[in-house]
Amino acid sequence: MNKCMTSISISNFTLATMLNVLSIAIASLVIFTLGVACAGQRKRLDVVEKLNGPVTVPYFLPWFGSFFAFNQDPLKFFKLCHQRYGKIYKVLLAGKKIVVVAHPDGITSLNRDTNKNLTNSAVFAIMMRGISNFNPSNVDYIHQVMDQRIFPITKRTLSPALMGQVTQSVEGSLRKELLALCSGEPRSPRRLKLPELIGRPLYISNCAALFGFRYPSLNTFSDFELLDSGLPQILTRLPFVARRSLDARGRLLSVLMEYISSWWESDGVEDIPGASTLVMESLKEMKVSKLSKRDAAGVLLLFLWGFHSNMWYMLFWLVTHLIMDEESMGRLVDEVDACARTDAPVHDGKKALSLLESAISETLRWATTSSTVRFAEEDTEIIVDGSVVVINKGEYVVGDIRAAHHDRSIFEHPEEFILDRYLVKDDSKTVLPRPMVWGAGKHVCAGRHVAVHLMRRFMVECLSMYDIKAANSGPGGKKLPRISAKSFIGSLKPNDEVHVTITARKV
């Protein structure tokens, strides 16, 4: 009986165990099968997404693709493609395949580049050769030195904690330069072109802060202007059209070589008098990296261009919009005056100068074009609006920031410049996304804090000193200048000159 009971209990035990094992096996099999099925399904979905890829803008001519339509007016071309093909599409331009991303998340994913397969070298090399005419065989090495040695210095010395050395010097000089505009007859109106009111004082002050008094900023401004305005032609390799700009570039490089010459030849025994830490530390790195004097001068020119150019164009558009709309100008002047009457810190734009802060953000939104261009060194992926998009090795990727800044579902009347668009109202529930103007990730703009600070300071000084009016303010006289069709990288460029009349104010 006992034996029998034992054998039953053993067989019960065996049966129970077997059933358990069986049920576990079945459950595992079900889980495994489901897992495999899900993985298969995911894989299929990935394949579908990868196969679908971005749609290519149709074209007739092989190799040229859409080049002629694009080249005629890049901004219009991007706008039409965005309307027709949406947030991501591909275009063939003279043998190059370019994926255009016009969705904010896609642009962020492109900037962050988590797979590390997208580089800016190819595009940076074009800018380097255009601005500084480096020998093509040196470009890769110089870019490497800039990326690994010079930009980290720039990011550190222009961080909010340390940028004071440069910004305070710019501010002091800017005030003097602006005051000098009406020093002869302070109360009589003076007619000027905007480069004389903004570009020149800013250039002289920027040069003084970066390079000290040994750099002849006064004599080089017109050459800098010529180089800057001729860049689209230089970059598209139209040497005959750009002859004057190319000559100006040559003269600027000679001046910069002369500027560093004695320091360079003496192996940098003493710092160049008045030069910023940023410039001196960068020069020392260039010497250690065995760059030639010519290439070091080229790096300084690139640097000066990066420091000055976008800031000048942004201020150009801000002042131009204000003189077109006297009510907006009046509101901003009132805010600056009210701030001057209190102890409110003018550097803290968010609190004391909230309308000016909004005006600067609105300018950055309105006047930014496509600022992010990358090249796929390997097959890679970015995420656009929640979907994986495959970028093939050898393709370029452009972030169409202008499209993101003109998204009607986010910005009301995006084509218009609205002074208080970014003013946070007490009753407002939605806060607008900040302009995507500085890039992000590894290559985020090293000068973004300095740029906003100096734009703010320029406006405060200028509006406190002068009444600024459009020179042609009669009927039909106030018109925004036409936007240059050729510039699609960085900030919008004007096609026409803008004249203003300034009169010294008594506050």
Question: Does residue 446 belong to the site contacting ligand HEM (CB under 6 A)?
Answer: yes
Question: Does residue 404 belong to the site contacting ligand HEM (CB under 6 A)?
Answer: no
Task: Please pick, from the candidates 149, 193, 443, 499, the single residue that binds ligand HEM as defined by CB under 6 A.
Answer: 443
The continuous run of DSSP H or E covering 41 comes out as helix 2-52
Question: Does residue 372 belong to the site contacting ligand HEM (CB under 6 A)?
Answer: yes
Query: Would strands 190-193 and 499-504 be described as parallel, antiparallel, or unpaired?
Result: antiparallel
Beta-carbon-side half-sphere exposure of residue 503 (alpha carbons within 13 Å)? 10
Nearest CB to ligand HEM, comparing residues 120 and 380: 120
Tokens of 158: 């222009």
Q: Which residue stretch of 218-226, 308-316, 317-325, 351-359 sits at the interface with ligand HEM (rule: CB under 6 A)?
A: 308-316
- Measured CA distances, 481 to 33, 86, 316, 329, 497 (Å): 66, 29, 11, 18, 7
Nearest CB to ligand HEM, comparing residues 68 and 151: 151
- Measured CA distances, 473 to 182, 195, 319, 329, 479 (Å): 21, 19, 15, 14, 9
- Measured CA distances, 21 to 10, 26, 171, 497 (Å): 16, 9, 80, 85
Question: Does residue 450 belong to the site contacting ligand HEM (CB under 6 A)?
Answer: yes
**What x-and-dash track marks residues 110-129 binding ligand HEM by CB under 6 A?**
----------x---------
**Minimum Å distance from CB 244 to ligand HEM?**
25
**What amino acid is encoded at 124 in this protein?**
F
Contact 442, 431 (CB under 8 A): no
Task: Please pick, from the candidates 68, 96, 151, 377, the single residue that binds ligand HEM as defined by CB under 6 A.
Answer: 151
Tokens of 237: 């390799």
Nearest CB to ligand HEM, comparing residues 89 and 375: 375
Nearest CB to ligand HEM, comparing residues 159 and 262: 159
Contact 373, 127 (CB under 8 A): no
Task: Please pick, from the candidates 298, 447, 470, 498, the single residue that binds ligand HEM as defined by CB under 6 A.
Answer: 447
**In which order are the strands placed within the sheet that holds 466-470?**
190-193, 499-504, 466-470
Q: How many residues bind ligand HEM (CB under 6 A)?
A: 20
Task: Please pick, from the candidates 371, 396, 453, 463, the single residue that binds ligand HEM as defined by CB under 6 A.
Answer: 371
Rounded distance between C-alpha atoms, residue 13 and residue 123, angstroms: 74
Nearest CB to ligand HEM, comparing residues 421 and 456: 456
445 annotated to a ligand binding site: yes
Place of tokens 């053993």: 10
Task: Please pick, from the candidates 438, 458, 466, 488, the single residue that binds ligand HEM as defined by CB under 6 A.
Answer: 438
**Minimum Å distance from CB 39 to ligand HEM?**
36
Question: Does residue 311 belong to the site contacting ligand HEM (CB under 6 A)?
Answer: yes
**What amino acid is encoded at 298 in this protein?**
G
Secondary-structure percent of the chain, ordered helix, strand, coil, rounded to 5: 60, 10, 30
Question: Does residue 307 belong to the site contacting ligand HEM (CB under 6 A)?
Answer: yes
Task: Please pick, from the candidates 208, 286, 451, 470, the single residue that binds ligand HEM as defined by CB under 6 A.
Answer: 451
Show binding-site residues. 445
Contacts to ligand HEM by CB under 6 A: 120, 151, 154, 158, 306-307, 310-311, 314, 371-372, 437-439, 443, 445-447, 450-451
